[in-house]
Every structure is written in structure tokens, then in C-alpha cells.
Structure 1
């Protein structure tokens, strides 16, 4: 819900309105919820929730790929001089404050994107000098992170994949300077298979970061309390071997992603996109000693 206070000629008008997202209007008309809660589902029986969601998609109750599933209730931001309501599980909804102080939802916006564009951060950053807006999206499959910009005319440019992120880290926000975009690589990692299994990490051959989920966190906390401070030398050796093996697999996967990126078709890229592409290619070549 958006709350707005409009002051005109010394008179204040207070207004509260739900953002008229596709999720909100569909469930309001049906009278019951059908859309999944992307984060709340991790605290319940997620397997049943996913099967129910899949069944609703297949039966045509809703199409998340066309209309989105977001609530647009995380933040407000100015993009290309327009006001938008955002949530990181959907694209932004354009909002307008009317002359009489009411809050109106204009609609879901994809900013004339030439590529698939279904989600973005709820915390984009705008350049006050150029009017550009920088944003990102993260996902559970590689490339886990993509950075893109929306120009001052409100047109989204193609995304730039960030291959240095080796896992699906839960990235809520980021920072932008004149020459850098800074992302936190947190220890909260989204691992879909682990979430589905909801299995304790002590059975893993190698140490793993904790996926999202309250059940998993509680189980790990209980197991940690039972652990002794003495580590058997054989177990430590096994742990080191497992860590080395896991790092090797990740390095190979990253190298394959870099090769695929270097061989990417550049014929349809703009000058800005070509500049960013070849800059990254040069960095990749220097990393591996390629010519």
C-alpha cells in the first residue's frame, strides 16, 4: 500500500491506496489467493506450494510470465523522471499522484526492453547528471547476476552478465559510483534443490552455505549446538579434499561461462553495449592469458 500526503494552498490531503498489480486485481476479483508468495513460501511446505502453483499455471488461472506476480510493495523510485512502485520479484509499476491527491496505478512497465525482462531490484540507483537509472536482477540459475541501465528516455538497454558471482547469492541492494557497481556477495544463497529437499547440510560431502528457509536454519542451529570442539584429523583431511574438489568444479563452470560470453554474437549490440562487452572480454583474456 502507498501512503501519500499532498499539500495545496495550506490544505493537506492524505491518501492510502493499494498498487493495482496483476496479483492484487486477480485475487480481489476471485476472492481468494492464487499467486505464490515468493519469500513467504520458504517458511511453509514449499514442495506442495510449488506443485499447486504449477497446477494453477497449467490450468490457466494465471500467467506469471506475461503479467507478473509481484506486489510492488517494497519501495518507490523515480525512473526517467516518473514514479514507480517496486518489488524484486517483478518489474516496476508506474504510479501517478492526481491533482486532488489520489494515488493511481498507471500500469506495469518493461521499459521497451528488447530482451526478456521479468524481474529487477527494488532499489535502483539514478545518476542525477545523466538521468540514467542503473539496476540489476539476480536469479537461481547462471548467470546469477545481470546489471543493466534505463536511459533518461525510459528505455532499458541490454543486460551485462556478471560472471564473477559463482553462486546465487541473495543480493537485496547495491551501490553505484562514477565508475563502479558494487554488489555484496552474502552468505545467504538460494539453492532450489536444497530448499525442496530441506535436508540438513551435515550430510553434504563439502561445506555449503545455508540456503533460504527457516526450517533449515533451525535444524542447522540445533546440529551446531551438538557439535564438539574437537575435530578429528581424518575428518579435517576429508573436508579439505571436498573443498578442493568443489572449487575445481566451480572454476571449470566459470571458465565455460567466460568462453560462452567471449563467443557471444555482437552484431546486434549498440556502441555502449559493444564497449562494455569488449572491456569484459579483455578482462577475461587477461585472467586466463588468452590472446
Structure 2
């Protein structure tokens, strides 16, 4: 496993948990930043047995960088699911990877955990109504305490939806958190709402018109509707037991896009040619009743589909309405993880930030050597190349003084494997970081994060 590309180098698991205050800062850390940047990602507690499918496998580790008036602190913790606790007691891995048909028996883990899948809340981390949640792919969320210690599965007062997506959306105007979940059985797709007060205001509601289990990683939200892109990546769990992949790419099915009115009225379905989408940037309503969706589009899901055609990504805009679906290329780049200022979610945005590849070196999936900012109104782009660094997903960091704000991202030096938190001026990110906060341990290349303003 030491030679697995996603278990070595920038991706190698971090097993140490630390709390460090007074971090070293190169440059000048803005004094109008007050809050925390959190990042979650797959991080096996012990060396895996069997397969390892990045980024779906791996235990969760949450990293936090606190910024307060020019100072910085760092904390990291494993999300201790029952499976992680059992493995810590055993001192080794007990569960295999997702694509292996092996589950530990009761003699090893007790009757409650026997023959169960590993919980994997290792994709994203959000805060809603004071709750800090580590999120999985179509599974229950785990609640974390102020010290990042694991409190357990989040039940939302006993009224929890069956599960949440890794990418719920929080409406900055209403305070609601809207989510979806796919399932291997009917109903294959549901949506739910947690109100601004933290209570479940809409339990799991079936999305009428779905007839098969599909992988859907992300969603978008407008002021009027939920946007779900149903690409033809189909689950076939029987394949696991014959040594195959549980996911099959079936492009002949095309793509279906569901516009689900938030008031609970009938779903509007639209179709277009097959493509794959991991992540949305944002969506918003247009005056004529249609919806604009900005997202990163791929020709097919790499790792889950075979094709002689080279895969390629682009930032695209889909306009979805009575006239059908029109997809327009905004920028063609090798990019992923599109983000906007979270305060603009459900409304019109101008700048989309992403990580990507310059194409100057061969990088494994999940690695990146540049940050890009795309002005979708002006049609322009800004680039910051990270010489010698692997960079992660950017997040917008608003200024507490009401200024133009900043962008932040974790980056790791490829030479000495030190990790840094970089802060860029939003007005001119191409000028490079205003400040580089040296982190006390390496943060493995991973997935998603969030900026949580103080207070």
C-alpha cells in the first residue's frame, strides 16, 4: 500500500493529532479575518486491507486553522466512528475497502458492527445552526464538538433524514440547509430540509420520476428550486461479489436534470446528452423562470468508465427551462472543486474559483498545481501557479471589516512535505499569497472545506 498513489506522498495518511497555537506566519496575515477554515478528507486510521478507492475509501480527519486578528492556531482530529473505535482497540484495520466483499464477523467486532459497511464521513464539513457536521457520501452525518471531538451520528433531535449528501446547501437568506440523498432501493432519490432553527422541517421526500440507483455527488440550490443532475453512473452492487466495480457508466441513458420546487410542487424534468459532473459552483433563477447552473463538466467519470477518448473538464453553464437544456462553455481548463463566495449561494455570482492543473507535469487524480479564478461575467480568468506545491480547494474568506475579502487554500510543498495555509487578496489573487501560515503537520491532499466566520 505504501506505493499506492493515493496513500503516499501528498496523500499519505496523517496519524498524528495535535493542537498548536501561535503558528509561524510568512508575510502579513490580515487582521480583518476572524474565523476558522476547516478541511475534511479521506485518511485511513490504519493501513488498509484489500482495495483502496480514493476518494471514497478512508476514515475522516478534520483539520482546523483558526485565524484571529493576525494570529493563527491549528487543530486536527479523526472522526471516531464505531468502526474507527473498534480498529483502534484492535490496533489494525478490520474493514476492507468498499469494493471488497469482506465484512468483519461478530467474533472480531461484536454483533452490532458485524457484517456492516464502514462509516465514511470523510468528504466534507459544514456548520449549520451551531452544529459542526462531518459529511459522507449518502450516509448519516457525524456531529463534532468545539474541540473537533466526535459526538456521534447527528440525529437532528431524533427527526434526522435517513442520510445527507456530502454537499448540502445552506441558503444564506433563509438559513435553511437543503439536502438530498440517493439510495440503492426505492425510493432511489429523496430531498429534505433542516430549518434555520436546526429542526427538520421537511423529512425525506421522494423525487418522483426516478427508477434506478445513480451516484449523484453534488447539488445546487436557487431561491425557488433544488437542482439535481442525474448522470448515468449506475449502481450494480451485485458486481462487488463477482470482483467488479459497483458503478457502471451507461452514456446511452443520457443525463436527466431535476428542478425540484422548494415549495414541494411537482418536479420538472429535463434531458440532455451524457456528461459527468462531480461538483456545482452555484445556481440561480433567471427572470423567465429558467435556471442557470455553473458547474465543472467531464466527458465521463474517470476511474469508473473506460473510453478511448481522453477525458477533459471545463467550467460550463447550463440554462435549464421550458426550451430544454443549453450548455455553454465558460472556460476550458483541467479544473475541479468550483467555489463561489458562500454568501452568494442561490443568487447570481461573478467569480468562480477552482483548483487545477497547468499541464506542465503529470499529476495523479486529486492533485493540483494551480488556482484559477474565472470571471463568468467578463469572460476572463486569473491564474496563480504553485511552483513546487500541491494545492487544495479554495474557499472565500470574507473580511470582518466589510472589504473585498480573501481566498484561502491549503498547499503542501512537494519537496519537504510541509503544509501551509495560503491567504490571497480577492481583488488580485494572481499577485500571490499575502500570508503563508505554516502548519505544524502535513495535511494530506484531500477534499472539501469551509470557512466558518467567528461568532
Question: Is the TM value for this pair above 0.5?
Answer: yes
Q: What are the equivalent positions in structure 2 for 1:165-244 lying under 5 Å apart?
A: 165-197=210-242, 211-212=246-247
Tell me the distance in 1 between the aligned counterparts of 2:70 and 2:133: 27
Question: CA shift at 1:7, angstroms?
Answer: 3.5
Indicate how the Cα distance of structure 1 residues 81 and 34 shifts in structure 2: closer, same or farther if over 3 A, else same: same
Cα distance, 1:179 vs structure 2: 1.6
Q: Does structure 1 residue 155 correspond to structure 2 residue 199?
A: yes
Pick closer, same or farther for the CA change 1:55–1:190 going to 2, 3 Å: farther
Are 2:105 and 2:114, in contact at CA under 8 Å, matched by a contact in 1? no
Q: Identify the residue that residue 71 of structure 1 maps to in structure 2.
A: 120
Distance 1:103 1:118, change over 3 A: same
Per the alignment, residue 151 of structure 2 pairs with 106
Q: Which of structures 1 and 2 has the larger relative contact order (alpha carbons within 8 angstroms, sep 6+)?
A: 2
Distance (whole Å) between structure 1 residues aligned to residue 172 and residue 205 of structure 2 = 22
Give the equivalent residue in structure 2 for 1:41: 98
Give the CA RMSD over aligned residues.
3.6
2:90 to 25, 30, 37: 30
For residues 211 and 71 of structure 1, what CA distance do their matches in structure 2 show? 17
CA shift digits 1:139-175 (9 cap, x unpaired): 1111110000111122223111012222111101111
Separation in 2 of the partners of 1:152 and 1:132? 5
SS in 2 for 1:24: helix
1:188/1:55 CA distance change after superposition, 3 Å: farther
Query: 1:181-215 CA distances to partner (integer Å, 9 max, x unpaired)?
Result: 1111112100223443457xxxxxxxxxx8517xx
Q: Secondary structure at the match of 1:60?
A: coil
Residue 192 of structure 2 aligns to a residue whose secondary structure is: strand
C-alpha separation between the residues in 2 aligned to 1:17 and 1:82?
17
Aligned residues: 198
**Native 8 Å contact 2:105 2:115 kept in 1:** no
- Residue 246 of structure 1 is matched in structure 2 by none
Q: Does the CA-based 8 Å contact 1:76-1:84 persist in structure 2?
A: yes
Picking from 168, 182, 186, the partner of 1:124 is 168
- Using a 3 Å threshold, how does the CA distance of structure 1 residues 20 and 149 change in structure 2: closer, same or farther? same
Residues 55, 118 of structure 1: CA spacing in aligned structure 2 closer, same or farther, 3 A cutoff?
Answer: farther
Which is helix-richer, 1 or 2? Answer: 1
Give the conservation status (yes or no) of the 8 Å contact 1:136–1:146: yes
Change (3 A) 1:198 1:33: closer
Which stretches in structure 2 are left out of the alignment for 5+ residues?
Answer: 1-60, 253-261, 270-455
Partner residue, 1:137: 181
TM-score (norm. length: structure 2): 0.38
CA distance in 2 between counterparts of 1:2 and 1:28 reads 18
**Cα distance change of structure 1 residues 126 and 169 upon mapping to structure 2, 3 Å threshold:** same
- From the CA coordinates, give the structure whose radius of gyration is larger: 1
Cα distance, 1:59 vs structure 2: 5.5
Which residue matches 1:14? 74
Question: 1:8 Cα shift?
Answer: 4.5
Give structure 1 stretches of 5+ with no counterpart. Answer: 200-209, 221-242, 244-272, 284-291
Q: 1:14 to 1:154 in 2, by over 3 A?
A: same
SS at match of 1:41: coil
Residues 5 and 171 of structure 1: is their aligned pair in 2 closer, same or farther, counting only changes over 3 Å? same
Q: Secondary structure at the residue paired with 1:103?
A: coil
Q: Secondary structure at the match of 2:229?
A: coil
1-side partners of 2:246 and 2:84: how far apart? 29
Q: 1:58 to 1:24 in 2, by over 3 A?
A: closer
